[in-house]
Amino acid sequence: MAESNSLTDAEIMLKIAGYDSKALEKLYDRYAPVLYTLIKKIVTDKETAEEILSDVFVIIWRQIDHFDFKTNNTYTWLITLAHNKAIDVLNRRGGKKLPEYTDEYEKEHIIPKLSPEVQALELEEVLKRKGKMEKALGSLTDAQKYVLELSYYGGMDQEEIANKLKIPTVTVKSKLQVAIGNLMQKLSEAN
Amino acid sequence: MDKKKGLELIKLEVLGCLNEKDMESLKILKESNDDFPWKELADYQNLVALIPLALEMKYPASELKDKTAMKLYNIRDEIKAKIEAKKAQEISSKPVEEEPQLEELVEMEEIVEVEEKVFAEAEEGVNINADESFRLVSNFKEKNESKNLIKETHDSADVHVLKSAPEKDVIEKITRDYIKTHIEKEIDLLNQSVKKNKILSIILFLITLILIGALYFIK
């Protein structure tokens, strides 16, 4: 048990790649709350959120070959995977016209494609940055926070945000770019 | 110019709000441009993944772990096929190798049997805790370890005998053993307490009779 607790996220992922179900269980224990929190924020409904979380772990088990063991960024891969899946469910339930959910679709739109230069992040170290992230987000203007929320948690693209806010798409683009740029800057300063 | 455009599109991509046209432009930039800002893409991907940190942590129901294990169990055939394909690939990539192992196939079949048995128990309502249920999914590491154990302790004929033993007999035997060790004891205890109660009732009856008799003589 102690050995299992001392495993890094990357080591757990490596074991999962060998279809070690204990490792998958360990990953579940470690990541379920943080993934569930994100999914629940997106879909809001408890039952749907749990269903999605469960599906995310099935995807991990089935598609572990798509995890990049060179960059080993478990945290960002899992968060992005859960985000993509939750947004997909949200959009489908909202009546958005999307292609049929197939294995190919999953590989193309749900499985994260991280940059080959991405720096590895592990949950334990990430959780230590919680305060800094809250501070960085808090320093954004209300308008910046709002467009970020609409896109990241609301799953809206530029046009949908423009329609909702009744402003031109170009303005939405620029607001989003400024918001994310500012967030990067504030977090770098905090670090 | 391309790099600037790439950077602008990256910021929208990581938030998941690119439209189809921009998505296509970004794809072309990634594929055709040696100067593509991969480092910036990496930084923004990590940044966006940190956004949920600001949320108040919520916890899923504890039963969800069991449900997930069941879902994983249901895709066991797909995973088995993947493992077999992997094994086949490994075998074909080895230059000189021993012939395909019969034991490996036997082992795989055994695993399926054990999994199916436990799954049947689960369906019958036998309580499985979350820790066990995840292991049911298919603990391939353990399987590999057990494979070595099988190799060391049994020859393939023994394994075949084990494999062909009817599951029903095993279950009946387990049930009989359970009744012997648990239920029979309880029945014995019950019988003993009934006997004790009978004796006590008789004694009380006799005492009552004596008292009534004594009262009669006193009067």
Which residues in B lie closer than 8 A to residue A130 (C-beta atoms)? 53-54
In the predicted model, is pLDDT for residue B94 greater than 90?
A: no
How far apart are alpha carbons A181 and A189 in whole angstroms? 12
- Read off the pLDDT band of B110 (50, 70, 90): low
Are the C-beta atoms of A176 and A158 separated by less than 8 Å? yes
pLDDT of residue A175: 93
Question: What percent of chain A is helix, strand and coil (3-state, nearest 5)?
Answer: 75, 0, 25
Domains A1-128 and A129-191 share a fold: no
For chain B, percent of residues with pLDDT exceeding 70:
58
A18, A115, A177 ranked by CB distance to B8: nearest: A177
pLDDT of residue B48: 97
Q: Which amino acid is at B201?
A: S
Regarding predicted confidence, which is higher, B88 or B200?
Answer: B200
Question: So what's the ipTM on this one?
Answer: 0.94
For chain B, percent of residues with pLDDT exceeding 90:
26
Nearest chain B residue to A181 by CA distance is B11
Which residues in B lie closer than 8 A to residue A133 (C-beta atoms)? 50-51, 53-54
B19, B41, B75 ranked by CB distance to A159: nearest: B19
The average confidence (pLDDT) of chain B is 72
Among A80-89, B84-93, B96-105, B159-168, name the most confident range. A80-89
Per-residue pLDDT, averaged over B99-110, amounts to 54
All residue ranges of chain A with pLDDT < 70 are 1-5
How far apart are alpha carbons B28 and B18 in whole angstroms? 14
pLDDT of residue A69: 94
pLDDT of residue B85: 79
Q: CB neighbours of A161 closer than 8 A, spacing ≥ 6?
A: A147, A150, A151, A172, A176, B17
Is the domain A129-191 a CATH 1.10.10.10 member? yes
Q: How far is B84 from chain A (nearest CA, A)?
A: 12
Task: List the structure tokens of B72.
Answer: 């994983």
pLDDT of residue B113: 57
A21, A84, A133 ranked by CB distance to B138: nearest: A21
- At residue B161, φ and ψ (nearest 5 deg) are -60, -45
Is B12 close to A176, i.e. CB distance below 8 A?
A: yes
How far apart are alpha carbons A43 and A52 in whole angstroms? 9
Q: Helices B102-123 and B156-164 meet at what angle, rounded to 10? A: 20
Which residues in A lie closer than 8 A to residue B76 (C-beta atoms)? none
Sign of the torsion formed by the C-alpha atoms of B15, B19, B21 and B23 = positive
Per-residue pLDDT, averaged over B114-120, amounts to 53
How far apart are alpha carbons B24 and B86 in whole angstroms? 34
Say how far residue B107 (Cα) sits from the centre of its chain. Answer: 18
Per-residue pLDDT, averaged over B28-37, amounts to 85
Is B18 in a helix, a strand, or coil? Answer: coil
Q: CA dist B181 to B80, B186, B187, Å?
A: 38, 9, 11
Which residues in A lie closer than 8 A to residue B10 (C-beta atoms)? none
Least confident of A150-164, B49-63, B151-165, B204-218: B151-165
Which residues in B lie closer than 8 A to residue A18 (C-beta atoms)? 140-141
Q: Which amino acid is at B174?
A: I
Q: What is the dihedral of CA B42, A35, B142, B75, to 10 degrees?
A: -100
pLDDT of residue A34: 97
Mutate to test the interface with A, among B15, B83, B87 (most CBs of A within 10 A): B15
In the predicted model, is pLDDT for residue B122 greater than 60?
A: no
- Read off the pLDDT band of B154 (50, 70, 90): very low
In the predicted model, is pLDDT for residue B127 greater than 90?
A: no
Which residues in B lie closer than 8 A to residue A121 (C-beta atoms)? 46, 49
Q: How far is B1 from chain A (nearest CA, A)?
A: 17
pLDDT digits (tens, 9 = 90+) for A62-80: 999 999 999 999 999 999 9
Is A21 close to B137, i.e. CB distance below 8 A?
A: yes
pLDDT digits (tens, 9 = 90+) for B40-65: 999 999 999 999 999 999 999 999 99
- Read off the pLDDT band of B210 (50, 70, 90): very high
Buried b (16+ CB within 10 A) or exposed e, B8-31: bbbbbbbbbbbeeebeeebeebbe
| Sequence spans of domains, chain A | 1-128, 129-191
pLDDT of residue B157: 36
Q: Which amino acid is at B163?
A: K
A24, A126, A183 ranked by CB distance to B134: nearest: A24
Among the listed residues B187, B43, B82, the one whose alpha carbon sits nearest the alpha carbon of residue A114? B43
Please give the CATH architecture assigned to the domain spanning A1-128: Orthogonal Bundle (1.10)
Is B47 close to A183, i.e. CB distance below 8 A?
A: yes
In the predicted model, is pLDDT for residue B158 greater than 50?
A: no
pLDDT digits (tens, 9 = 90+) for A113-139: 999 999 899 999 999 999 999 999 999
Buried b (16+ CB within 10 A) or exposed e, A110-129: bbbbbbeebebbbbeebeeb
